[in-house]
């Protein structure tokens, strides 16, 4: 671990943020790597109450999830970056819907590519560096670290909101052993008395402010769930979502500040937001693999995607009657 005085820590932190901007990130913040005691208690209660549904991986590696020093020995800082994926394009009327985050190429690959560049830059500047890069693929409480590094607050729908760019962004994390100057945590909460996300959720997944039950969440059932069918109480309120759900972000007033992405790989693939349900129903395995190669939609797998399409057909039939 390199040794820096406070002046050097501050200067390197500022230069890191400048480099993050140059690489295309919309925001960058730094927090001290330490155990998340309050969040650990909240997570334990959430898991104990079964709010994670079948996502058993959420219960594994608990200590690593709440303490980055267990995940990366010798860690001193957690660096968080945000990268917008917002486009001004909307879903065409009457089409089956795919969540905006999956309109372009898989964000894991795009974000990691940029993060590795940022890591390499810091290694060159620091002289020596030990750490790891994370993009929603390991036990890291990325939204909490974003808040702790001053990048926004965790809203009533449990998404992170940045006051300058809303919530349509991906989060990336570097856990490192370089003692950079830290940012002040975001202690504000600008949700106020607003309950638009809670009121708009068709399945009541936001069962109380700042808490989501995966058992009721359309995103969970259309992405994470591996069964052959979706429960009737979800199907009857599923609307036209065949992969994910954006409702709570669509209605959030803070997203009037959304920043249009300049990353070409996040631009919508042809037909992603305007393909009729009938065309998705006819999609075979080969066409699915070709159409969603390098896309986050592949996480649902072909069988799950077709299950979701059938559920939307069932929803429309129920609505018509």
Q: Is the pTM of this model over 0.85?
A: yes
Q: Report whether 297 contacts 98 (CB < 8 A).
A: yes
- Print pLDDT tens along the chain (321 aa): 557 789 999 999 999 999 999 999 999 999 999 999 999 999 999 999 999 999 999 999 999 999 999 999 999 999 999 999 999 999 998 899 999 999 999 999 999 999 999 999 999 999 999 999 999 989 999 999 999 999 999 999 999 999 999 999 999 999 999 999 999 999 999 999 999 999 999 999 999 999 999 999 999 999 999 999 999 999 999 999 999 999 999 999 999 999 999 999 999 999 999 999 999 999 999 999 999 999 999 999 999 999 999 999 999 999 887
Burial class, 117, CB count within 10 angstroms (exposed 0-12 / middle 13-18 / buried 19+): middle
User: What are 300-303's contacts with CB under 8 Å, separation 24+?
Assistant: 300/222, 300/223, 300/243, 301/226, 303/228
How many Å apart are CA 45 and CA 249, to the nearest integer? 25
Note the pLDDT of residue 148. 98
Catalytic residue status for 136: yes
Mean model confidence pLDDT for the chain: 96
Distance of CA 145 to the CA centre of its chain: 13
Q: Report whether 222 contacts 243 (CB < 8 A).
A: yes
How many Å apart are CA 176 and CA 196, to the nearest integer? 38
How many CB atoms within 10 Å of residue 170? 22
- Out of 56, 136, 199, 213, the active site residue is 136
Note the pLDDT of residue 247. 98
How many Å apart are CA 151 and CA 133, to the nearest integer? 18
Nearest to 249 by CA among 182, 311, 156: 156
Distance of CA 31 to the CA centre of its chain: 19
Alpha helices in 127-194 (DSSP H): 142-148
Q: Report whether 304 contacts 312 (CB < 8 A).
A: no
Q: Report whether 55 contacts 47 (CB < 8 A).
A: no
Q: H or E stretch including 199?
A: helix 196-200
Q: H or E stretch including 81?
A: strand 77-84
For the chain, state the CA radius of gyration.
Answer: 20
């Amino acid at each position: 671990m390199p040794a820096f005085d406070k002046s050097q820590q501050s200067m390197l932190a500022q230069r890191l943020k400048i480099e993050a901007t140059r690489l295309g990130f919309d925001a960058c913040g730094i927090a001290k790597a330490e155990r998340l005691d309050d969040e650990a208690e909240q997570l334990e209660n959430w898991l104990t109450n079964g709010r994670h549904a079948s996502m058993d991986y959420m219960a594994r590696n608990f200590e690593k999830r709440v303490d980055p020093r267990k995940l990366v020995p010798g860690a001193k800082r957690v660096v968080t970056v945000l990268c917008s994926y917002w486009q001004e394009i909307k879903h065409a009327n009457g089409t089956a819907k795919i969540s905006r985050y999956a309109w372009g190429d898989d964000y894991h690959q795009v974000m990691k590519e940029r993060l590795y560049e940022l890591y390499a830059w810091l290694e060159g500047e620091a002289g020596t560096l030990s750490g790891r890069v994370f993009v929603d693929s390991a036990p890291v409480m990325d939204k909490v670290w974003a808040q702790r590094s001053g990048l926004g607050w965790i809203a009533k729908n449990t998404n992170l909101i940045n006051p300058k760019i809303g919530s349509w962004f991906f989060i990336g994390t570097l856990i490192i052993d370089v003692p950079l100057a830290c940012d002040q945590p975001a202690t504000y909460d600008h949700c106020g008395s607003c309950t638009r996300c809670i009121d708009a959720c068709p399945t009541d997944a936001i069962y109380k402010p700042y808490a989501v039950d995966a058992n009721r969440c359309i995103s969970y059932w259309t992405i994470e769930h591996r069964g052959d069918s979706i429960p009737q109480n979800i199907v009857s309120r599923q609307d036209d979502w065949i992969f994910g759900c954006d409702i709570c972000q669509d209605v959030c007033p803070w997203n009037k500040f959304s920043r249009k992405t300049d990353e070409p790989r996040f631009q919508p693939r042809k037909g992603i937001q305007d393909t009729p349900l009938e065309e998705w129903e006819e999609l075979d395995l080969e066409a699915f693999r070709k159409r969603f190669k390098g896309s986050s939609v592949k996480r649902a797998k072909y069988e799950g995607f077709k299950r979701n399409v059938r559920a939307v057909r069932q929803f429309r039939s129920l609505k018509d009657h």
